[in-house]
Amino acid sequence: MPELPEVEGVVRMLKPVVEHKTIQRVIVSPVIYTSKEAGKEAIIKGQTPEQFIAAVQGMTIERIERHAKYIFFTMLKNGEQQLLVNHLGMSGAWFHVAHPDDVTEGKFHKHMHVMWQLADDEWLIYADIRRFGEMRLLHDIADYPPLLAMAPEPFDARASDYFLEKCAQRKYNNKAIKAVIMDGQVVSGCGNIYATEALFRTRIHPGRKVSLIEGEQLRTLFQEIVTVLTESIAFGGSSISDYRNINGEAGSMQHHLQMYGMKKCPMCHTNTEQQIIAGRNSFYCPNCQH
């Protein structure tokens, strides 16, 4: 699943090429129609495909921002501002191309589900192999309450204290630390990959209860989360499986990971072990992490 660095990379590339451009035509895939007819909602949430097309066609993309793992498109049409919120799910990707056929990687080309034509030779295409991503068109962020519960950005000055305050709460105090730092209401945008890396760097076992970790060690852990997220942004994110930027290119942070997916610890060369925590496979070194 794309985490904060991957989403940040997409946003940084989208901003200069599509901000202030108008969506002239909208196409959604047959899969979205059949999903809605079956009583499900693939990608487009809270609207029928017809309603989505009618609403988005003619909108101008005023601003694109990242909030946690979400992409916020501030849109304007007929003087009315709306917010389109996009989550990439497990395998979502945006492509900025001259023609849909320019999405050449087969697994993405087969799963182009939302296509915006910006000009005769310019398209912005959302492809999603597993279809766990989503788009919600909102009048206000309050229209979707989970967005209001997100933790502050990890780079914000208040984020560290916020993290410590959350860890002290009974709701989190008795949980495994890995589960807590993957909770978007505690740490914004940190998922399985970067939680694994930060815990290894601080020598903390992912299953260790928060109550058994000293406050100063928790603060150090948060600093390492920020550091590894910053490093990953610089390397264009991690392309473990399906992440691509808007040019179809992979990131390179996966070449700099020390623990995620590793068979041996790079420090002591002990065989790594795995444990399912919060539904995710957690890699750790049984010798270095306690």
Handedness of CA 242, 248, 254, 255 (dihedral sign): positive
Q: Is 112 helix (H, G, I), strand (E, B) or coil?
A: strand
Active site residue 62: no
Contacts for 135 with CB less than 8 Å, ≥ 6 apart: 43, 44, 45, 52, 84, 85, 86, 114, 126
- In whole angstroms, give the CA distance from residue 127 to residue 142: 27
- In whole angstroms, give the CA distance from residue 239 to residue 242: 6
Asked if residue 32 lies in contact with residue 43, where contact means CB atoms within 8 angstroms, the answer is: yes
| Dmax (CA) of the chain | 62
Closest CA to 167 of 157, 177, 156: 177
- In whole angstroms, give the CA distance from residue 54 to residue 51: 5
- In whole angstroms, give the CA distance from residue 31 to residue 45: 14
Asked if residue 127 lies in contact with residue 100, where contact means CB atoms within 8 angstroms, the answer is: no
Active site residue 166: no
Chain centre to alpha carbon of residue 237:
11
Point out the catalytic residue in the list 2, 5, 49, 154. 2
- In whole angstroms, give the CA distance from residue 133 to residue 125: 13
- In whole angstroms, give the CA distance from residue 228 to residue 192: 12
Point out the catalytic residue in the list 6, 8, 36, 69. 69
Point out the catalytic residue in the list 3, 134, 197, 224. 3
Active site residue 100: no
Handedness of CA 222, 228, 229, 230 (dihedral sign): positive
The tokens for 210 are: 């928060």
Active site residue 2: yes
Catalytic machinery residues: 2-3, 69, 280
